[in-house]
Amino acid sequence: MSTPEIVFRIGGAAGDGVSSTAESFAKMCSRSGLHAWTYSSYQSVIRGGHVWTQVRGGNQPLLSHGTDPNVLVCLNQQTMDVHQGDVLEGGAIVFDSDLVKPDPSKLRKDVRLLGIPLRKMAQTITPTGIVRNTVALGAAVRLCDIDFRHVESAFQDIWGDKKPEVVAHNIQAAKLGVEAVQQAGGSLKLGLRFTEVPRYLMTGNEAVALGALAAGVRFHAQYPMTPASSILHWMAAHGPQRGVVVKQVEDELAAMNMAVGAGHAGVRSMVATSGGGFSLMVEAIGQAGMTETPLVAVVVQRGGPSTGLPTKTEQGDLNLVLGAGQGDWPRGILAPRNTRECFDLTAKAFNLAEVYQTPILILSDLYLGEGFRTVDKLDFNVPIVRGMMAADGGVAEGRYKRYAYTDSGVSPRVLPGTKGYQYIAATDEHMESGELISDILAGLPEFVEERRKMHEKRMRKLEGLRKDMPPPELWGSPNADLTLIHWGSTWGAAHEAIRHVEEDEGIRVNSLEFPALFPFHADETLRILKGVKKTLSMEANYTGQFARLLRAETGYKPNFTFPKYDGEPFTWREIADKILEVVA
Amino acid sequence: MKLEFELDTYKSEIKPTWCPGCGDYAVLNALQHALTTLQLEPWNVLIVSGIGCSSNLPHFLSTYGFHAIHGRAVAVAEGVKLANPDLHVIVTGGDGDGYGIGVGHFIHAMRRNLDLTYIVMNNEIYGLTTGQASPTSEMGMKTKSTPIVGVIENPIDPIALALSTGATYVARAFSGDVKQMSELVAKGLEHHGFSLIDALSPCVTYNKINTYDFFRKRVYDLNKEGHDPSDLKAAFMKALEWPVMQRDRIPLGLFYRNDKVPTYEDLEPAYKKGNPVKQALGVEDADEILREFL
């Protein structure tokens, strides 16, 4: 398992340009034809703190941000102190020789120390030395043999025609870094194959926004919240010219209620937020369930509870979305495992929302939502299915029944503005016409029956919805000794861990995973579980929220669990270690 | 002349369930008259309400309606209007719904100057929950939730709030004068921008202070006394007469109207592609969109 790869890590204080430098580096990798995967460990401050980002690049498709780096850039002493021991044998550490001192006793053997006067060099270009991170970037580019053309084009894309002098300064700075490495031993000779065919590089949040656009979203409402904000940013920059009303609103209450209004009016409507914002949306999403209004809600999870860990990842909001809203109402919950699925499942969610006239939730997380990954070209020709409309069949006979009882539970809808079909959508319990039974009629014998029938009609939609939700998948070797059970962004590290233990230790492990979490495919899951030996359930929360759902739906209790709630994503190595521990 | 839409065409089969004498009957009546005056097609009108006695109002009309959750009617209406700007969107509800739990949306909708007409049936009490203090209850008013010394908070002044927040049509009406109310509502519906009609609508069951008599002794038509609704500064002075400064005179009528302010819809860039609900779905420039990710 030693295919050539780049693992580039850069650290400094917030405001040092760590993440923008890493993002540029990832772009240079993807333009060199490499697969790329980034992870940014940052904090909720604008200046200071300790921030580091890792970019992994390789010739084979990647599954995680990897573990130890072969190139480390230290913009401050803290980065050196924290990370110097991680650098792989044969790797290199680039640091500002005037500000940072390495501790050779902590290094692995054969690590090249490249002390470069980053700030002083940068000050020869601009008095502030603001481009010092770019000097370091140039050094990394040379160490990894990346073609300098990609450096120039990346800077051109970022600052472009608006600030040609900034482009020039950065190119000059990167060249100084290249020359410094040239004089100190040249490249690390990592052995990567570069091509002329660039790859698409995007975050999970961008893929969600693209999926929504492909599916024809026409209304997006959001209140800024990490780690969901980049969905708003992308939509605000790209949506309006394509007919999408993008609204930053006063709070998440407004976001969800506006999305309900827009969905009711007949456009494809969505919101995006994190757990805290979704908590504010809870009452209003129940309103969508009751009024049978289609919409898509994206929840990009971060560490909780409360404000929690704003810049760290977790899968702790499954219970929240499963139980959101008072009473029972039908909902669908999708959980993309990777960037590609962020696109596919978001596009699909709009169809499910309109066909079943109810909210569909997408549960993502910070690791998936904010990390840049390469993907194959996305196909925007996604199927668009808008569900049953009453007005397609002509004028209503007698009074139109918006909530007519049907076998599927789905009642043909009309859009406001359609002549002759006027009705009231109500959050109170209502009859087929929409007329309330909650006020003066509730409790009268025939309305006890009406309430039962209407509630059953709504909930019946879950049966059809379940069939249309993607089923659980068993991935990997048949007859494995151990089956990993997981959902969401844990996918990549789990698969990579399985490859390692199979190749390095000869242990057969496979993986049971769930792109849809609700309505739950209980029968299919039980059928799969009958064929597995031992199971290890792993998820990034304290209580094992998915394991509890699995047990509630199937009675099955995993043999082993691996909860993680430290804010960091699962790495393949810790999963591999856990596998070895439980199969021993 | 025979009208295409007579008054009765705006009435639904459902009879109002309000207490006999409730001020909300007059508001319903005034709204029906306003719709008749303007001859709006019932299927192109959508009335959104919240929760409370007054929020049942859309059920009694033959237009489209959305009976939302408590305090969120304005936000739902904003979503409807943004998605389909061709609809006439009216919001109805009470003082608790709009000036209490939903006051945030109220303020921001006015700031946006969306083309909505908001009729608040202000009875200065919570009626449906059987008589607790509301955000417009006056100082000292004893209610089920303020039984010992009465209300010890200042009442919200919705007119001054609307004037300071960007509403471009601000009026106050009274259920004791349906004719004036109906004219104010009709003009609000015609106005291009956010219209607030604060409708003093007595609760005959739970508010024994702000009764029809209470109002009849105090109200006057500010426009008949020469107030110029294009004068924002004068409108502020009139707004402060009640409930902030005095208790003996309550101005009714049009405080302020400004037709020159662009609405949110006028400025929304997405509408260059047409009404969102009528646009074709699908993306025309997928390759261009994807190119930025290369």
**Closest Cα to residue A423, out of A539, A304, A292?**
A292
Beta-sheet strand order (sheet of A245-248): A245-248, A217-222, A268-273, A295-301, A359-365, A332-334, A516-518
Per DSSP, the three-state class of B38 is helix
B65 touches chain A (CB under 8 A): yes
352-381 in A: which are within 8 Å (CB) of B?
377-378, 380-381
Q: Do A267 and B283 touch (CB under 8 A)?
A: no
pLDDT in tens, chain A (584 residues): 468 999 999 999 988 899 999 999 999 999 999 999 999 988 777 777 899 999 999 999 999 999 999 999 999 999 999 999 999 999 999 999 999 999 999 999 999 999 999 999 999 999 999 999 999 999 999 999 999 999 999 999 888 888 999 999 999 999 999 999 999 999 999 999 999 999 999 999 999 999 999 999 999 999 999 999 999 999 999 999 999 999 999 999 999 999 999 999 999 999 999 999 999 999 999 999 999 999 999 999 999 999 999 999 999 999 999 999 999 999 999 999 999 999 999 999 999 999 999 999 999 999 999 999 999 999 999 999 999 998 765 555 678 999 999 999 999 999 999 999 999 999 999 999 999 987 778 788 889 999 999 999 999 999 999 999 999 999 999 999 999 999 999 999 999 999 999 999 999 999 999 999 999 999 999 999 999 999 999 999 999 999 999 999 999 999 999 999 999 999 999 999 999 999 98
71-90 in B: which are within 8 Å (CB) of A?
72, 75-84, 86-87
B279 touches chain A (CB under 8 A): yes
Per DSSP, the three-state class of A178 is helix
Is A545 within 8 Å of A319 (Cβ atoms)?
yes
Q: Which helix (H) or strand (E) holds B204?
A: none
Q: Judge whether residue B2 has pLDDT over 80.
A: yes
Distance of CA A582 to the CA centre of its chain: 29
Contacts of A200 in chain B (CB under 8 A): 290, 293-294
- CATH code matching the domain that covers A5-198, chosen among 1.10.10.10, 3.20.20.100, 1.10.3720.10, 3.40.920.10: 3.40.920.10
Max CA separation in chain A (angstroms) = 91
B112 touches chain A (CB under 8 A): no
Nearest to A264 among B66, B105, B286 (CB): B66
Chain A nearest C-alpha distance from B115 (Å) = 15
d(CA A191, CA A193): 7
Q: Do B269 and A421 touch (CB under 8 A)?
A: no
Report the residue of chain A nearest B271, measured CA to CA: A243
**DSSP at A243:** T
Burial class (CB in 10 A: 0-12, 13-18, 19+), A51: buried
CA dihedral A320, A324, A330, A336 (to 10 degrees): -30
Q: What's the pLDDT at A395?
A: 53
Q: What's the pLDDT at B248?
A: 87
Beta-sheet strand order (sheet of A534-539): A473-476, A509-513, A482-486, A534-539, A560-563
Q: For a pLDDT cut of 90, what percent of chain B falls above it?
A: 97
Contacts of B87 in chain A (CB under 8 A): 265, 416-417
Per DSSP, the three-state class of A563 is strand
Query: Which residue's structure tokens are 């349906």?
Result: B178
Q: Do B108 and A249 touch (CB under 8 A)?
A: yes
Tokens of B116: 């909505």
Domain coordinates in residue numbering, chain A: 5-198, 202-375, 390-455, 473-583
Q: Do B83 and A221 touch (CB under 8 A)?
A: no
Strands A473-476 and A560-563: unpaired
Q: What's the pLDDT at A392?
A: 66
**Closest Cα to residue A576, out of A10, A63, A55, A60?**
A63
**Closest Cα to residue A356, out of A469, A264, A471, A461?**
A461
243-272 in B: which are within 8 Å (CB) of A?
268-270, 272
d(CA B256, CA A543): 57
Q: Do B274 and A30 touch (CB under 8 A)?
A: no
Q: Which residues of B229-252 are buried (b: 16+ CB within 10 A; e: fewer)?
A: beeeebbeebbbbbbeeeeeebbb
Tokens of A127: 């008095």
Contacts of A201 in chain B (CB under 8 A): 293-294
Q: For a pLDDT cut of 70, what percent of chain B falls above it?
A: 100
Tokens of B72: 């969120």
A238 touches chain B (CB under 8 A): yes
Per DSSP, the three-state class of A399 is coil
Q: For a pLDDT cut of 70, what percent of chain A falls above it?
A: 99
d(CA A432, CA A458): 11
Q: Which domains occur in chain B, in start order? A: 7-291 (3.40.50.970)
Burial class (CB in 10 A: 0-12, 13-18, 19+), B205: middle
Q: Which helix (H) or strand (E) holds A229?
A: helix A229-238
Report the residue of chain B nearest A196, measured CA to CA: B294
A237 touches chain B (CB under 8 A): no
Nearest to B69 among A250, A284, A421 (CB): A284
Contacts of A243 in chain B (CB under 8 A): 270, 272-274, 276, 279
Q: Do A215 and B281 touch (CB under 8 A)?
A: yes
Nearest to B79 among A258, A377, A419 (CB): A258
Report the residue of chain A nearest B55, measured CA to CA: A426
- A interface mutation test: which of B41, B114, B272, B277 has the most A CBs within 10 A? B277
- The question of ipTM being above 0.95 is answered as yes
The arithmetic mean of pLDDT across residues B149-177, rounded, is 97
Note the pLDDT tens digit of each residue in B98-141: 999 999 999 999 999 999 999 999 999 999 999 999 999 999 99
Chain A nearest C-alpha distance from B236 (Å) = 26
Tokens of A21: 């430098």
Tokens of B173: 């009406």
Is B154 within 8 Å of B139 (Cβ atoms)?
yes
d(CA B111, CA A572): 51
B108 touches chain A (CB under 8 A): yes
Per DSSP, the three-state class of B45 is strand
Tokens of B148: 């010992």
Q: Do B72 and A31 touch (CB under 8 A)?
A: no
> In the Cβ-directed half-sphere of B111, how many Cα atoms lie within 13 Å?
9
Nearest to B294 among A200, A254, A415 (CB): A200
Domains A202-375 and A473-583 share a fold: yes
- CATH code matching the domain that covers A202-375, chosen among 3.40.640.10, 3.40.50.970, 1.10.10.10, 3.50.50.60: 3.40.50.970
Report the residue of chain A nearest B13, measured CA to CA: A435
Q: What are the residues whose beta carbons fall under 8 Å from the beta carbon of A444, sequence distance 6 or more?
A: none
Note the pLDDT tens digit of each residue in B261-280: 999 999 999 999 999 999 99
Three-class secondary structure assignment of A36-102: EEEEEECCCCCCEEEEEEEEEEECCCCCCCCCCCCEEEECCHHHHHHHHHHCCCCCEEEEECCCCCC
Is A561 within 8 Å of A547 (Cβ atoms)?
yes
Tokens of A507: 């242990």
Report the residue of chain B nearest A246, measured CA to CA: B270
**Closest Cα to residue A309, out of A271, A256, A365?**
A365
Q: Do B56 and A425 touch (CB under 8 A)?
A: no
Nearest to A424 among B67, B79, B282 (CB): B67
Tell me the backbone φ, ψ of residue A496, rounded to 5 degrees: -70, -40
Nearest to A417 among B17, B44, B108 (CB): B44
Is A236 within 8 Å of A414 (Cβ atoms)?
no
Q: Do A260 and B79 touch (CB under 8 A)?
A: yes
Chain B nearest C-alpha distance from A424 (Å) = 4
d(CA A221, CA A273): 10
Q: Do B80 and A250 touch (CB under 8 A)?
A: no
Burial class (CB in 10 A: 0-12, 13-18, 19+), B281: middle
Q: Where are the alpha helices (DSSP H) in chain B?
A: 24-38, 73-83, 95, 103-112, 158-165, 178-190, 212-218, 232-239, 264-267, 286-291
Chain A nearest C-alpha distance from B172 (Å) = 26
The Cα-based distances of A526 to A80, A476, A521 in angstroms read 50, 18, 9
**DSSP at A395:** S
- Total beta-carbon pairs less than 8 A apart between chain A and chain B: 203
Task: Kindly report the CATH class assigned to A473-583.
Answer: alpha beta
Q: Judge whether residue B63 has pLDDT over 90.
A: yes
Q: Which helix (H) or strand (E) holds A203?
A: strand A200-203
Note the pLDDT tens digit of each residue in B224-246: 999 999 999 999 999 999 998 87
Q: What's the pLDDT at A1?
A: 44
What's the pLDDT band for B158 if we cut at 50, 70, 90?
very high
Is A71 within 8 Å of A143 (Cβ atoms)?
yes
Contacts of B75 in chain A (CB under 8 A): 249, 253-254, 257-258, 261
Is A513 within 8 Å of A486 (Cβ atoms)?
yes
B11 touches chain A (CB under 8 A): no
Nearest to B268 among A241, A245, A259 (CB): A245
Q: What's the pLDDT at A397?
A: 63
Per DSSP, the three-state class of B292 is coil
Nearest to A422 among B64, B269, B272 (CB): B64
Report the residue of chain B nearest A378, measured CA to CA: B290
> In the Cβ-directed half-sphere of A313, how many Cα atoms lie within 13 Å?
22
Torsional class of B114: left (φ above 0), alpha (ψ -120 to 50), beta (otherwise): beta
